[in-house]
Amino acid sequence: MNVTPDIISRALFHILRERQICEGVCIGMETMQQAWEGTGLRASDLQCCLRDLEDAGIINVCLFEPRAYIELTKNGADRLSAKAQPDAAEQAWMDDVVLYRIRQRARSNFVYEHRRTTDSIDSTYS
pLDDT 10s digits, 38-62: 888 999 999 999 999 999 999 999 9
Most confidently modeled range among 27-31, 97-101, 115-119: 27-31
Query: What residue ranges do the domains of the chain occupy?
Result: 5-104
For 5-104, give the CATH class.
mainly alpha
Q: Which pLDDT band holds residue 94 (cuts at 50, 70, 90)?
A: confident
Between CA 102 and CA 45, with CA 121 as vertex, the angle to 5 degrees is: 25
pLDDT given at position 2: 74
Chain mean pLDDT for the chain: 80
pLDDT given at position 123: 47
**DSSP letter string over 6-38?**
HHHHHHHHHHHHHTT--TT-EEEHHHHHHHHHT
Residue of 87, 73, 99, 3 lying closest to 44 (CA atoms): 3
- Pairing of β 26-28 and β 67-72: antiparallel
Most confidently modeled range among 8-17, 83-92, 95-104: 8-17
